[in-house]
């Protein structure tokens, strides 16, 4: 009663874990004159690629998002049907909580597939992107800078 896909994913995880820890202990060198070679062994390698594993998520809450119409995003009035869905998923003997944005209502207790990073189970494929908030803040910052510049030019002329 074994699942070949599950066994293959476990092998991938073990291989990734052994590759990431292999560079932590440099080999001993008898020649003490080569100090640069020893320093090269201590350089950190890049992060290992994530191994995405599938689990089941469960909806804990679904709320309608409040959309404001503003001058910076005039097209957002068309996106009024957005919902913030809070959910839980179980990975590596622990329950994780997260949320995502959906265009359709999800019922509490509804189950769906979630892929999570086996090396960092907090990361999953359903998470809300924080870049959306950052881009809105950058637009507001640029607009405020332009407004202050125009006002200071008008005050200097007057």
pLDDT at 20 over 60: no
Q: Are residues 116 and 67 in the same domain?
A: yes
Contacts for 133-141: CB closer than 8 Å, 24+ residues apart: 136/72, 136/73, 139/72, 140/72
Residues 25, 154: Cα–Cα separation, whole Å: 65
Q: Are residues 64 and 96 in the same domain?
A: yes
Q: Check: CB of residue 60 under 8 Å from CB of residue 86.
A: yes
- Would you call 89 exposed, middle or buried from its count of C-beta atoms within 10 A (0-12, 13-18, 19+)? buried
Examine the domain organization and report whether 70 and 85 are in the same domain. yes
Range of the domain at 22: 1-49
Q: Report pLDDT for 53.
A: 92
Question: Domain boundary at 34, 49, 64, which?
Answer: 49
Same domain? For 61 and 10 the reply is: no
Of 51, 26, 22, 50, nearest to 38 by C-alpha is 26
Look at 125 and 23; give whichever has higher pLDDT: 125
Domain boundary among 16, 32, 49: 49
pLDDT by residue (tens digit) across 73-112? 555 555 567 899 999 999 999 999 999 988 899 999 999 9
Same-domain status, 116 and 77: yes
80/96 same-domain check: yes
Looking at the structure, tell me whether residues 67 and 123 fall in a common domain: yes
With beta carbons less than 8 A apart as the criterion, state whether 59 and 39 touch: no
Q: What is the mean pLDDT of residues 1-21?
A: 63
pLDDT of residue 23 exceeding 50, the answer is no
107 plus 141 within the same structural domain: no
Q: For residues 43-60, give the mean pLDDT.
A: 83
If asked whether residues 61 and 44 sit together in one domain, one would say no
Do both 36 and 10 map to the same domain? Answer: yes
Counted domains in the chain = 3
33 and 56 housed in the same domain = no
Whether 7 and 28 share a structural domain: yes
Supply the pTM of this predicted model.
0.48
């Amino acid at each position: 009663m074994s699942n070949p896909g599950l066994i293959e994913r476990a092998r991938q995880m073990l291989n990734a874990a052994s590759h990431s820890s292999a560079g932590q202990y440099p080999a001993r060198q008898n020649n003490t004159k080569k100090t640069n070679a020893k320093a090269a062994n201590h350089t950190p390698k890049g992060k290992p690629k994530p191994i995405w594993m599938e689990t089941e998520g469960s909806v804990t809450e679904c709320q309608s998002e409040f959309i404001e119409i503003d001058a910076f995003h005039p097209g957002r009035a068309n996106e009024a049907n957005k919902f913030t869905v809070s959910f839980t998923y179980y990975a590596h003997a622990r329950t994780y909580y997260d949320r995502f944005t959906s265009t359709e209502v999800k019922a509490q207790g509804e189950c769906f597939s979630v892929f999570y990073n086996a090396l960092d189970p907090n990361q999953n494929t359903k998470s809300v992107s924080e870049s959306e908030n950052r881009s809105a803040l950058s637009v507001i910052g640029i607009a405020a800078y332009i407004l202050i510049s125009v006002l200071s030019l008008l005050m200097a002329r007057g």
